[in-house]
Structure 1
Amino acid sequence: MTLAPDQAKRIAAAGEDLPRIAAAPPVKRYRHPFVVALAFAICAIVLLPVVTLAAIALSGTGEDWPHLARNVLPGATLTTLWLLAMVSAGTAIIGVATAWLVVGYDFPLRPFFSWALVLPLAVPPYLAAYAFAEFFLFTGPVQSAFREMFGFDSPQQYWFPDLRSTEGAAFVLTCVLYPYVYLTSRVVFLMQGRNIADVARTLGARPAKVFFRVLLPVARPAIGAGVALVLMETINDIGASEFLGVRTLTTAVFTTWINRSSLEGAAQIAMLMLVLVLLLLAAEQFARRRQRFHNVRGTQLKARPPRARLSAAGQAGALVAVSLPVLFGFGVPLLVFGQYASRRLDRLINADLGEAFLNSVFTAGSAALLTVGLALLLINAVRLSRSPLTTILVRVASVGYALPGTIMGLGLLFALARIDNAIDFFAREQFGFSTGLMLTGSAAAVILACTIRFLALAEGAVRSGMEKLPPHLDEAARSLGKTPAKSAALVLLPLLQPAILTALVLVFVDTVKELSATILLRPFGFNTLATLVYENASRAVVEDGAVAALLIIGTATVPVILLSRALARDRAASMA
Structure 2
Amino acid sequence: MYARLTTASIGWWLASLLPACLVLLPVLSLVGYALEGSGELWPHLRAYVLPQALSQTLGLLVGVGCLVIVLGTGSAWLVTAYQFPGRRLLSWALLLPLAVPSYIVAYVYLDILHPIGPLQTGLRELLGYSSPREFRLPDIRSLGGCILLLGLVLYPYVYLPARALFLMQAAGVLDAARTLGAGPGRSFFHIALPLVRPAVAVGASLALMEAINDIGAAELLGVRTLTVSVYATWVNRSSLPGAAQIALFMLVLVVSLMVLERWVRRHRQYAASARQSRHLTAHPVRGAGWLLVAAAWLLVGLGFVLPATHLLLSSVERISAMGVDASLLDKTVNTLLFAAIATLIAAVIAFVLAYSLRLARANPAMGLLVRIAGLGYAIPGTVLAIGLLGPLGWFDDWLDNRSQALLGVSAGLALSGTGAALVYAYVARFLAIGAGSLEAGFHKIPLSLDDAARSLGRGELARARLIHWPLSRPALTAAMLLIFVDCMKELPATLLLRPLNVDTLATHLYGEASRGSYESGAIAALLIVLAGVLPIILLSRYGSGAQAQPG
TM-score (structure 1 length as normaliser): 0.77
Query: Among 298, 302, 305, which residue is 2:279 paired with?
Result: 305
Does residue 58 (structure 1) correspond to residue 31 (structure 2)? The answer is no
Please say which of residues 537-546 and 114-123 is displaced more in the overlay.
537-546
Kept after mapping to 1: 8 A contact 2:220/2:514: no
Which string of whole-angstrom CA distances, capped at 9 and with x for unpartnered residues, describes residues 390-443 of structure 1?
565555445534555345334324422322333444455567766554433333
Q: Give, in angstroms, the shift of residue 318 of structure 1.
A: 4.7
Q: What residue in structure 2 maps to residue 9 of structure 1? A: none
Q: What residue in structure 1 maps to residue 256 of structure 2? A: 279
Q: What residue in structure 2 maps to residue 130 of structure 1? A: 107
Q: What residue in structure 2 maps to residue 10 of structure 1? A: none
Q: Secondary structure at the match of 1:344?
A: helix
Residues in 2 aligned to 1:410 and 1:497: alpha-carbon distance in whole angstroms: 35
Q: What residue in structure 1 maps to residue 240 of structure 2? A: 263
Q: Give, in angstroms, the shift of residue 72 of structure 1.
A: 1.7
Residues in 2 aligned to 1:105 and 1:184: alpha-carbon distance in whole angstroms: 18
Q: Give, in angstroms, the shift of residue 526 of structure 1.
A: 4.4
Kept after mapping to 1: 8 A contact 2:114/2:120: yes
Residues in 2 aligned to 1:438 and 1:487: alpha-carbon distance in whole angstroms: 34
Residues in 2 aligned to 1:561 and 1:348: alpha-carbon distance in whole angstroms: 31
Q: Secondary structure at the match of 1:183?
A: helix
> What aligned pairs does 1:415-494 form with structure 2 within 5 A after superposition?
415-426=391-402, 429=405, 437-456=413-432
Q: What residue in structure 2 maps to residue 328 of structure 1? A: 302
Q: What residue in structure 1 maps to residue 336 of structure 2? A: 361
> What aligned pairs does 1:141-180 form with structure 2 within 5 A after superposition?
141-144=118-121, 162-180=139-157
Which string of whole-angstrom CA distances, capped at 9 and with x for unpartnered residues, describes residues 26-81 of structure 1?
x8746765555444322210122222232222112132222211122122212111
| Letter in structure 2 aligned against 1:360 | T
Q: Give, in angstroms, the shift of residue 272 of structure 1.
A: 0.8
Please say which of residues 199-208 and 268-277 is displaced more in the overlay.
199-208
Please say which of residues 355-364 and 326-335 is displaced more in the overlay.
355-364
Does residue 316 (structure 1) correspond to residue 293 (structure 2)? The answer is no
Larger radius of gyration: 1
Specify every segment of 5 or more residues in structure 1 that has no aligned partner in the other structure, as ranges: 1-26
Does residue 74 (structure 1) correspond to residue 51 (structure 2)? The answer is yes
Query: Among 456, 469, 491, which residue is 1:515 paired with?
Result: 491
Q: Secondary structure at the match of 1:439?
A: coil
Does residue 352 (structure 1) correspond to residue 340 (structure 2)? The answer is no
Kept after mapping to 2: 8 A contact 1:478/1:487: no
Residues in 2 aligned to 1:544 and 1:121: alpha-carbon distance in whole angstroms: 23
Which string of whole-angstrom CA distances, capped at 9 and with x for unpartnered residues, describes residues 341-374 of structure 1?
2331156654433343343234334434544664
Residues in 1 aligned to 2:86 and 2:49: alpha-carbon distance in whole angstroms: 49
Kept after mapping to 2: 8 A contact 1:408/1:517: yes
Does residue 551 (structure 1) correspond to residue 527 (structure 2)? The answer is yes
Which string of whole-angstrom CA distances, capped at 9 and with x for unpartnered residues, describes residues 265-323 of structure 1?
111111111111111112222222353868676xx9xx983551423547734531321
Q: What residue in structure 1 maps to residue 170 of structure 2? A: 197
Please say which of residues 95-104 and 324-333 is displaced more in the overlay.
95-104
| Letter in structure 1 aligned against 2:392 | L
| Letter in structure 2 aligned against 1:326 | V
Kept after mapping to 2: 8 A contact 1:235/1:404: yes
| Residue 296 to residue 534, structure 1, CA distance change in 2 (3 Å) | closer
Kept after mapping to 1: 8 A contact 2:198/2:265: yes
Does residue 45 (structure 1) correspond to residue 26 (structure 2)? The answer is no
Which string of whole-angstrom CA distances, capped at 9 and with x for unpartnered residues, describes residues 531-567 of structure 1?
3323434554331221111111112223322432343
Q: What residue in structure 2 maps to residue 21 of structure 1? A: none
| Residue 455 to residue 218, structure 1, CA distance change in 2 (3 Å) | farther
| Residue 538 to residue 139, structure 1, CA distance change in 2 (3 Å) | closer
Q: Secondary structure at the match of 1:254?
A: helix
Query: Among 226, 231, 237, which residue is 1:254 paired with?
Result: 231
| Letter in structure 2 aligned against 1:450 | Y
| Letter in structure 1 aligned against 2:263 | F
Q: What residue in structure 2 maps to residue 342 of structure 1? A: 316
Query: Among 91, 95, 98, which residue is 2:68 paired with?
Result: 91
Q: Give, in angstroms, the shift of residue 478 of structure 1.
A: 7.1
Q: Give, in angstroms, the shift of residue 209 of structure 1.
A: 6.3
Q: Give, in angstroms, the shift of residue 239 of structure 1.
A: 1.6
Query: Among 199, 202, 205, which residue is 1:228 paired with?
Result: 205
Residues in 2 aligned to 1:412 and 1:70: alpha-carbon distance in whole angstroms: 27
Please say which of residues 502-511 and 527-536 is displaced more in the overlay.
502-511
| Residue 246 to residue 442, structure 1, CA distance change in 2 (3 Å) | same
TM-score (structure 2 length as normaliser): 0.80
Residues in 1 aligned to 2:385 and 2:166: alpha-carbon distance in whole angstroms: 37
Q: Give, in angstroms, the shift of residue 324 of structure 1.
A: 1.6
Kept after mapping to 2: 8 A contact 1:420/1:437: yes
Residues in 1 aligned to 2:540 and 2:119: alpha-carbon distance in whole angstroms: 32
| Residue 158 to residue 213, structure 1, CA distance change in 2 (3 Å) | same
Which string of whole-angstrom CA distances, capped at 9 and with x for unpartnered residues, describes residues 244-273 of structure 1?
111211222233224433221111111111
Q: Give, in angstroms, the shift of residue 84 of structure 1.
A: 0.4
Query: Among 549, 556, 560, which residue is 2:536 paired with?
Result: 560
Q: Give, in angstroms, the shift of residue 375 of structure 1.
A: 5.2
Residues in 2 aligned to 1:53 and 1:291: alpha-carbon distance in whole angstroms: 36
Kept after mapping to 2: 8 A contact 1:509/1:556: yes
Residues in 2 aligned to 1:507 and 1:291: alpha-carbon distance in whole angstroms: 30
Q: What residue in structure 2 maps to residue 532 of structure 1? A: 508
Q: Secondary structure at the match of 2:224?
A: coil
Residues in 1 aligned to 2:188 and 2:252: alpha-carbon distance in whole angstroms: 35
| Residue 220 to residue 30, structure 1, CA distance change in 2 (3 Å) | farther
| Letter in structure 2 aligned against 1:439 | L
Please say which of residues 233-242 and 336-345 is displaced more in the overlay.
336-345
Please say which of residues 101-110 and 447-456 is displaced more in the overlay.
101-110
| Residue 248 to residue 477, structure 1, CA distance change in 2 (3 Å) | same
| Letter in structure 1 aligned against 2:544 | A
Residues in 2 aligned to 1:518 and 1:308: alpha-carbon distance in whole angstroms: 45
Residues in 2 aligned to 1:151 and 1:503: alpha-carbon distance in whole angstroms: 54
> What aligned pairs does 1:387-398 form with structure 2 within 5 A after superposition?
393-394=369-370, 396-398=372-374
When the two structures are aligned, how many residues end up with a matched partner? 536
Q: Give, in angstroms, the shift of residue 510 of structure 1.
A: 2.4
